């Protein structure tokens, strides 16, 4: 299958908002793929070079990619900024560059053999394998070879895949529908298989190769991370009790990093919330699991926190330093010690636990955890007890509480009302930095004023701006990271790829004509950098609006509208 066919499909998807038509188009396309093409094609349509479970990464920065494209474009690179101003889309801007290049050098383009889906994957594999001395030059040679054979529209989507910004409006949920339709398999079976495997591209391959028998009763694979179950933000404890039928299980929501632990016959691997392998960064947690866990095989969930000499939680950013470090671990482990608290069991000794009720899973977890602590818990039907428990959690340095319905199953990848997050004040928002400005005075030379955006469909919409919250050291590091993903410079301001997620506190949300979203955060300040989350996990503009409306339970609408 030619890569051009996939590109033509993506162009059609971009031009329609009819979900049924999108599913039908993708379904017909999947039917025409071979077994070996289907996983790469599905991954690419979702903006991934490799499937989620694959540990390989391209590790290509926008700086590297733009250098290759500008070298190929020559004098036509100026078209990029002109097109980006008009569309706001990096891929479309690259397409404009290649259209100029093609018009000037049509004969050279016609001599190139067309790319296939499998050739694109093979080149991606070569890029991911480039390591050590000379790796950057090798990556650039491979990228140049790839883009030199690409048509303008192919260059557009190659760029989107490499930077992870597809924006066709076709997300994983719709892909599940398309796979079910293409291979005549009940949607529920496809969805369950996607939950268990953590990746719809693998499910599509299994459906193509084996049909329904390939996905029914599909079990967990040890060392293949699973999408975590997600929680909604609750406006109050009262809302939780109403939703959970007057009784709920409350757990401390620790100020740490969520981890998924896989163990089989003494071998242990630990995955982050984003399903990346962080085992090497947490040797003491590996040792603790090996010594204490009373199981042959297990998949567990827990929270890792960094603790100070006073045994109180250290700021989240210190913990992220541990997660990023893969060398001299012993040295950093002394300065940033970590602790593990378990809160769920998903799989145990060959049996899936996700269909069992929360209270039963918790009891099983307690039986196998040995001396490993579980998150502090209370089951109550008393609002006053719950409020006291929330206050105690915050006073001990934690974020707040999780509330879990007593009979809730574990639903991988699903954000429902079985689980809630509760915090004392207006809930912080996970937002994406989409632009930044250079500071003044002491901060001259640093990108220190950040434009914060919420997810809005396939794009992002700005809801605020802040220069508060980060230390000088963090601002310096943030500047370094942002410079690597700059798309465009405008005087003192840079536009960047929406890659970096930050957790943002604020005093309130107001209506404002200043931003296209119509919303503005008042006194916004960054609490922490969420390297454990990707931009696809940022809060949506709908969440921002819902919090805005909830403010009027306690204040007049006139005050909120000012």
So what's the pLDDT on residue 289?
A: 97
Write out the two tokens for 225: 């991370």
Q: For the chain, give the mean pLDDT.
A: 90
Residue 465 has pLDDT above 90, yes or no: yes
Residue 555 has pLDDT above 70, yes or no: no
- Residue 528: how many CA atoms within 13 Å on its side-chain side? 17
Cα 347 to Cα 177, 223, 230, 258, 485, distances in angstroms: 27, 12, 18, 17, 39
Kindly provide the residue ranges of all beta strands, DSSP E only, lying in 180-282, ordered along the sequence.
230-233, 248-253, 257-264, 267-272
Helices H / strands E in the chain, number of each: 22, 19
- Who contacts 263 (Cβ-Cβ below 8 Å, separation ≥6)? 222, 289, 290, 293, 295, 297, 298, 299, 300
- Who contacts 105 (Cβ-Cβ below 8 Å, separation ≥6)? none
Residue 310 has pLDDT above 80, yes or no: no
- Residue 508: how many CA atoms within 13 Å on its side-chain side? 16
Least confident of 8-22, 312-326, 438-452: 312-326
Q: For residues 166 and 459, is the Cβ–Cβ distance under 8 A?
A: no
Q: Cα–Cα distance between 251 and 421 in angstroms, integer?
A: 10
Q: For residues 53 and 262, is the Cβ–Cβ distance under 8 A?
A: no
- Residue 177: how many CA atoms within 13 Å on its side-chain side? 13
- Taking alpha carbons only, the member of 364, 376, 305 closest to residue 336 is 305
Least confident of 101-105, 302-306, 417-421: 101-105
pLDDT digit string, tens, across residues 91-140:
999 999 898 877 767 655 455 689 999 999 999 999 999 988 889 899 99
- Taking alpha carbons only, the member of 9, 202, 38 closest to residue 121 is 38
- Taking alpha carbons only, the member of 35, 45, 36, 39 closest to residue 13 is 45
Mean pLDDT of 223-235: 90
Higher pLDDT: 366 or 546? It is 366
So what's the pLDDT on residue 77?
A: 79
Q: For residues 42 and 466, is the Cβ–Cβ distance under 8 A?
A: no
Write out the two tokens for 402: 């999780």
Mean pLDDT of 32-50: 97
Read off φ and ψ for residue 531, nearest 5 degrees: -70, -10
**Which residues are identified as catalytic?**
253
Band of the pLDDT at 558, cuts 50, 70, 90?
Answer: very low
Q: For residues 316 and 335, is the Cβ–Cβ distance under 8 A?
A: no
Mean pLDDT of 278-303: 96
Band of the pLDDT at 552, cuts 50, 70, 90?
Answer: low
Residue 506 has pLDDT above 50, yes or no: yes
Indicate the pTM of the whole model: 0.78
- Taking alpha carbons only, the member of 448, 445, 454 closest to residue 466 is 448
Mean pLDDT of 242-255: 96
Residue 418 has pLDDT above 90, yes or no: yes
So what's the pLDDT on residue 218?
A: 81
Higher pLDDT: 37 or 316? It is 37
Higher pLDDT: 301 or 470? It is 301
Write out the two tokens for 79: 């078209």
So what's the pLDDT on residue 294?
A: 96
Domains and CATH numbers, the chain: 47-163 (1.10.3260.10), 230-422 (3.30.470.30), 429-560 (2.40.50.140)
Residue 560 has pLDDT above 50, yes or no: no
So what's the pLDDT on residue 196?
A: 83
The DSSP element (H or E) to which 97 belongs, if any, is helix 90-104
pLDDT digit string, tens, across residues 143-168:
999 999 999 999 999 999 999 888 89
The DSSP element (H or E) to which 508 belongs, if any, is strand 508-511
Read off φ and ψ for residue 325, nearest 5 degrees: -85, 130
So what's the pLDDT on residue 557?
A: 43
Q: For residues 398 and 256, is the Cβ–Cβ distance under 8 A?
A: no
Least confident of 53-57, 130-134, 327-331, 527-531: 327-331
So what's the pLDDT on residue 124?
A: 97
So what's the pLDDT on residue 200?
A: 94
Least confident of 1-5, 14-18, 487-491, 524-528: 487-491
Least confident of 271-275, 321-325, 463-467, 524-528: 321-325
Partnered with residue 522 across adjacent β-strands are 508
β-strands 486-490, 493-496 pairing: antiparallel
Q: Cα–Cα distance between 534 and 213 in angstroms, integer?
A: 33
So what's the pLDDT on residue 131?
A: 86
So what's the pLDDT on residue 106?
A: 60
Read off φ and ψ for residue 415, nearest 5 degrees: -105, 105
Q: Cα–Cα distance between 151 and 78 in angstroms, integer?
A: 19
Q: Cα–Cα distance between 202 and 332 in angstroms, integer?
A: 37
Q: Cα–Cα distance between 21 and 169 in angstroms, integer?
A: 12
Higher pLDDT: 288 or 317? It is 288
Q: Cα–Cα distance between 460 and 510 in angstroms, integer?
A: 18
Burial of 355 (0-12, 13-18, 19+ CB in 10 A): exposed
Considering the chain, what percentage of its residues have pLDDT values greater than 70? 96
Q: Cα–Cα distance between 123 and 44 in angstroms, integer?
A: 13
């Amino acid at each position: 299958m030619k890569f051009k066919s996939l590109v033509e499909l993506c162009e059609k998807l971009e031009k329609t908002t009819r979900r049924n038509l999108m599913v039908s188009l993708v379904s017909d396309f999947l039917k025409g793929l071979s077994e070996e093409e289907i996983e790469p094609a599905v991954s690419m349509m979702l903006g991934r070079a490799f499937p989620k479970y694959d540990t390989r990464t391209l590790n290509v920065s926008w700086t590297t990619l733009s250098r290759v494209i500008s070298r190929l474009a020559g004098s036509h690179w100026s078209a990029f900024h002109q097109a980006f101003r008009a569309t706001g889309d990096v891929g479309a801007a690259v397409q404009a560059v290649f259209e100029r290049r093609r018009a000037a050098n049509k004969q050279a383009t016609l001599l190139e053999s067309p790319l296939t889906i499998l050739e694109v994957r093979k080149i991606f594999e070569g890029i991911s394998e480039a390591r050590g001395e000379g790796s950057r030059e090798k990556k650039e040679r491979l990228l140049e070879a790839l883009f030199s054979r690409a048509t303008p529209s192919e260059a557009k989507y190659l760029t989107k895949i490499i930077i992870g910004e597809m924006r066709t409006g076709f997300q994983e949920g719709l892909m599940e529908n398309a796979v079910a339709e293409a291979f005549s398999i009940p949607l529920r079976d496809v969805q369950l298989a996607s939950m268990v495997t953590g990746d719809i591209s693998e499910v599509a391959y299994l459906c193509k190769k084996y049909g329904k028998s390939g996905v029914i009763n599909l079990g967990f694979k040890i060392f293949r991370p699973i999408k975590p179950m997600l929680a909604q933000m609750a406006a109050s404890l009262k809302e939780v009790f109403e939703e959970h039928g007057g009784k709920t299980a409350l757990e401390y929501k620790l100020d740490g990093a969520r981890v998924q632990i896989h163990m089989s016959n003494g071998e242990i691997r630990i995955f982050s919330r984003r399903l990346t392998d962080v085992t090497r960064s947490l040797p003491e947690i590996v040792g603790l699991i090996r010594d204490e866990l009373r199981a042959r095989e297990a998949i567990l969930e827990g929270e890792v926190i960094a603790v100070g000499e006073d045994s109180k939680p250290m700021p989240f950013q210190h913990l992220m330093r541990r997660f990023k470090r893969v060398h001299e671990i012993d040295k950093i482990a002394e300065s940033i010690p970590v602790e593990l608290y378990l809160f769920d069991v998903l799989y145990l000794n060959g049996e899936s636990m996700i269909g069992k009720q929360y209270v039963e899973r918790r009891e099983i977890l307690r039986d196998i955890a040995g001396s490993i602590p579980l998150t502090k818990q209370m089951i109550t039907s008393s609002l006053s007890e719950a409020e006291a428990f929330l206050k105690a959690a915050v006073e001990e340095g934690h974020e707040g509480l999780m509330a879990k319905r007593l009979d809730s199953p574990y639903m991988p990848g699903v954000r429902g009302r079985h689980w809630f997050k509760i915090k004392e004040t207006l809930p912080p928002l996970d937002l994406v930095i989409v632009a930044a400005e250079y500071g003044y005075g002491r901060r001259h030379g640093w990108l220190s004023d950040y434009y914060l955006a919420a997810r809005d469909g396939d794009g992002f919409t700005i809801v605020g701006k802040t220069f508060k919250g980060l230390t000088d050291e963090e601002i310096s590091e943030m500047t370094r990271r942002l410079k690597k993903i700059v798309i465009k410079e405008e005087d003192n301001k840079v536009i960047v790829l929406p890659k970096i997620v930050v957790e943002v506190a604020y005093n309130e949300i107001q209506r404002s004509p200043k931003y296209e979203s119509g919303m503005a955060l008042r006194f916004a300040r960054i609490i922490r950098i969420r390297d454990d989350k990707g931009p696809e996990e940022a809060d949506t503009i709908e969440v921002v609006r819902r919090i805005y409306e909830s403010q009027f339970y306690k204040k007049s609408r006139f005050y909120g509208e000012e």
